[in-house]
Homo-oligomer: A and B are copies of this chain.
Amino acid sequence: MFKLRSLVTALALIGSMSVANAWEKLPTQAPEPADNPSTPEKIELGKMLYHDPRLSSTGTVSCASCHNTMLGGEDNRPNSMGVNGQTGGRSAPTVWNSAFNKVQFWDGRAATLEEQAAGPVTNPIEMGMKSWDDVTARLKGIPGYQAAFKDVYGENSISKENATKAIAAYERTLITPNSPYDKFVGGDKSALTAQQIRGMEKVAELGCGSCHSGAAFNGAGTFQKFPMNADGFLEAKYHFTKDKGVAEVSKKSEDEHFFKVPTLRNIALTAPYFHNGSVATLEDAVKIMAKVQLNKELSKDETADIVAFLNGLTGEFPKQTMPTLPLTSGKTTN
């Protein structure tokens, strides 16, 4: 189905510029699960928790440390750095527009934002808390959090479930609409340059959209094998296959090297690239993708055109206020 759609798009684009509406604009609202409707109070609580380093064992790492909304939604590092300077093997995906992912984490091991939010907190090399019981005990010791949870969920409601629901509700507000691409798709033909339009056509022609489909260019949660084609030179340089992706979780050989298709939204701001953050520039990332996924060698001009188009996927980042994190009067929390 994806193949067909991308072919149609490609043909349409080549034929006429009136096809722009075959491409999708980013929705300005994220879908909410029935059991976690958003409210302003819940979003504000989630923003507090998201930015609170006391959710880590050392009190130094918050969700925002690796998924920094001020910095393109991630940390600009190859691999993120958790408590006590520890690093893992993966590059932090951007939190912006993560509400449009159908699965979370590079290996898709969390089905929802709520489930994802629970993970890093107790990961020993990320936020390092021993258990969620320790997290909720710490939160219960902070009167401001007691009050904030009460406002959202009622009396004595500090729990893992309610904390992660609030974080997810906040994350659902992190949407970057009105990229040049969105404006173009919305009818403003001057929003993309001639080079960007060439890049857009090339993306369609190559079939990038068979995986990077949909409004968020992220395959709507489907997994894809990466790399598809072995390349000794690239492997020696970037070690793509060291990480087995979905198989690291499922332990099934058929899942080896399958990863969640990452969004292309704001990709110009989220270097370095790939699951292991091994590629420093978007230009190299584009060339590598063509080579290992599609077995195509792109010319310098083709690469530049696609990079120009991808720069057109940078959206508007809504201004956020900083949360004031509640403190326990006269007492250390950690």
Q: Residue A327 at the B interface, CB < 8 A?
A: yes
Looking at chain A's contact residues, is the secondary structure mostly helix, strand, loop, or mixed?
loop
Q: Is A60 an interface residue (CB 8 A)?
A: yes
A68 / chain B contacts, CB cutoff of 8 Å: 53, 325
A211 to chain B, nearest CB (A): 20
Given the known inter-chain contacts A60-B75, A81-B60, A83-B85, please indicate yes or no for A271 contacting B325, CB distance below 8 A.
Answer: no
| Chain A interface category by residue count | 35 or more
Please name 6 further chain A to chain B contacts, defined as beta carbons within 8 Å, in addition to the given A59-B77, A271-B331, A317-B324, sorted by A numbering.
A59-B75, A76-B334, A85-B85, A269-B329, A282-B331, A311-B330
In the complex, 29 of the A-B residue pairs with CB atoms within 8 angstroms, ordered by the A residue number, are A53-B71, A59-B75, A59-B76, A60-B75, A69-B322, A70-B322, A71-B327, A76-B327, A76-B332, A76-B333, A76-B334, A77-B332, A77-B334, A84-B85, A85-B85, A85-B86, A267-B330, A268-B330, A269-B327, A271-B331, A272-B332, A280-B331, A281-B332, A311-B329, A314-B329, A319-B322, A321-B321, A321-B322, A322-B322
Contact with B along A67-108 (1 / 0, CB 8 A): 011111001111001011110000000000000000000000
A125: shortest Cβ distance to chain B, in Å? 11
Interface: A124 (CB within 8 A)? no
